[in-house]
């Protein structure tokens, strides 16, 4: 059986003049979306956030293929990487990582999803790591009525890097409005579906632009996503449920209070 949350309409927040985001926190979906912690659907036109630490989870930046610009990501691992439209950057913070992302100078605003995905408690003490997934590594498939991009599938990022301790799927699906799409959900997985364009019907609910729904399956199952009044585009982020507590302090999210306190002390020494 698949359990669904009610449709959720996000709030719009701004941080300074150059950053705005629609926010999708796990608490809005009765934690059905585990292992997803939080998602921001953002637009950034200039550097906004100074270097800051993460620990205990993965911070994932997914840029839409039609984003006018890309990001430059730099971190305390010594990496400086461009994230171009249609690509993804996976930062597995684990023990702790300092990073900064900013639009490529002089090339316009950046549009995409900032996704926080929890890590198994046993992996939260691992060394930090970061992996780029260029647009050319994103798997694409088409069929009658739909086009699908999968940036992460199981424990594999794109088509090359097997780097995740727990299975996750990040996909973007365009529907032409003529044919329902059948979404496979493995057992003991949770996730979130966000309507990026148009509207769809799922579980008897109609979801319009920006709205989202959370889901969790207790065994392998399928759900039909039906077109509603024309073409639509969806982002679906899902993964194996971790079913563990989350202790948080800003951008530090760990599975115990003790681990959170240890991470807080570690990241205080990190620099770019």
Section 161-183 average pLDDT: 92
| Res. 126: pLDDT tops 90 | yes
Task: Specify the pTM.
Answer: 0.96
pLDDT tens string 82-112: 999 999 999 999 999 999 999 999 889 999 9
Residue 104 pLDDT: 93
Query: How far is it, in rounded angstroms, from Cα 195 to Cα 54?
Result: 28
* Residues 37 and 119 sit within 8 Å (Cβ to Cβ): no
Residue 272 falls inside a structural domain: no
Write down the pLDDT at residue 160.
65
What would the mean pLDDT of 183-202 be, rounded to a whole number? 97
Q: Is residue 180 part of a domain?
A: yes
> Sorting pLDDT into bands at 50, 70 and 90, what band is 257?
very high
CB atoms within 10 A of CB 3: 13
Task: Kindly state whether residue 82 falls inside one of the protein's structural domains.
Answer: yes
Q: Which residues of 83-119 are buried (b: 16+ CB within 10 A; e: fewer)?
A: bbbbbbbbbbbbbbbbbbbbbeeeeebbbbbbbbbbb
Q: How many other CB atoms are found less than 10 A from the CB of residue 265?
A: 9
Query: Which one, of 183, 181, 194, 153, lies nearest residue 64 by Cα?
Result: 194
Q: How many other CB atoms are found less than 10 A from the CB of residue 60?
A: 26
pLDDT band at 231 (very low <50, low <70, confident <90, very high): very high
Q: What is the pLDDT of residue 261?
A: 97
pLDDT over 80 at 163, yes or no: no
**Nearest to residue 39, comparing CAs of 55, 57, 21?**
21
Are 163 and 123 within 8 A, CB to CB? Answer: no
What pLDDT, on a 0 to 100 scale, did the predictor assign at position 31? Answer: 85
Domain-located, residue 181: yes
Count of domains in the chain?
1
Res. 229 pLDDT band, cuts 50 70 90: confident
Q: Is the pLDDT of residue 158 over 90?
A: no
Mean predicted confidence (pLDDT) in 192-216: 97
Confidence at 156, pLDDT banded by 50, 70, 90:
confident
- Torsion region of 138: left, alpha or beta (phi above 0 gives left; psi -120 to 50 gives alpha): beta
The pLDDT tens digits of the residues spanning 1-59 come to: 999 999 999 989 999 889 999 999 999 999 899 999 999 999 999 988 989 999 999 99
240, part of any domain:
yes
Checking if the pLDDT of 235 tops 80, the result is: yes
Q: In this structure, is residue 150 part of a structural domain? A: yes
Per DSSP, the three-state class of 113 is: strand
- CA-nearest of 80, 182, 86, 166 to 126 is 166
- Please give the pLDDT value at position 226: 94
Q: The domain containing residue 236 runs over which residues?
A: 2-267
- Give the mean pLDDT of the chain: 94
Residue 98 CB partners (closer than 8 Å, separation 6+): 51, 52, 53, 75, 76, 267, 270, 271, 272
Domain CATH code at residue 189: 2.60.120.10
The strand ranges marked E within 129-175 are 129-133, 139-143, 146-154, 156-157, 161-162, 168-175
């Amino acid at each position: 059986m698949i359990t669904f949350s009610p449709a959720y309409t996000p709030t719009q927040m701004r941080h300074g003049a150059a950053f705005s985001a629609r926010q999708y926190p796990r608490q809005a979906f009765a934690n059905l979306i585990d292992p997803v912690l939080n998602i921001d659907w953002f637009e950034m036109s200039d550097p906004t956030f100074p270097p800051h630490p993460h620990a205990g989870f993965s911070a994932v930046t997914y840029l839409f293929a039609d984003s006018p610009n890309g990001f430059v990501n730099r971190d305390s691992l010594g990496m400086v990487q461009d994230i171009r439209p249609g690509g993804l950057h996976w930062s597995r913070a684990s023990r702790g990582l300092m990073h900064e992302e900013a639009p490529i100078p002089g090339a316009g605003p950046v549009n995409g999803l900032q996704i926080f995905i929890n890590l198994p408690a046993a992996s939260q003490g691992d060394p930090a790591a970061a992996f780029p997934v260029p647009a050319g590594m994103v798997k694409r498939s088409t069929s009658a009525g739909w086009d699908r991009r999968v940036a992460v599938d199981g424990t594999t990022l794109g088509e090359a890097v097997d780097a995740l301790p727990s299975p996750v799927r990040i996909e973007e699906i365009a529907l032409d409005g003529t044919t329902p799409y059948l979404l496979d959900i493995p057992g003991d997985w949770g996730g979130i579906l966000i309507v990026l364009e148009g509207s769809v019907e799922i579980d008897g609910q109609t979801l319009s632009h920006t709205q989202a729904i959370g889901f969790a399956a207790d065994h392998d199952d399928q759900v039909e996503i039906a077109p509603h009044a024309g073409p639509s585009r969806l982002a679906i982020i899902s993964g194996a449920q971790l079913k563990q507590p989350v202790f948080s302090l800003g951008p530090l999210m760990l599975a115990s209070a003790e681990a959170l306190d240890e991470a807080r002390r570690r990241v205080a020494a990190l620099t770019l």
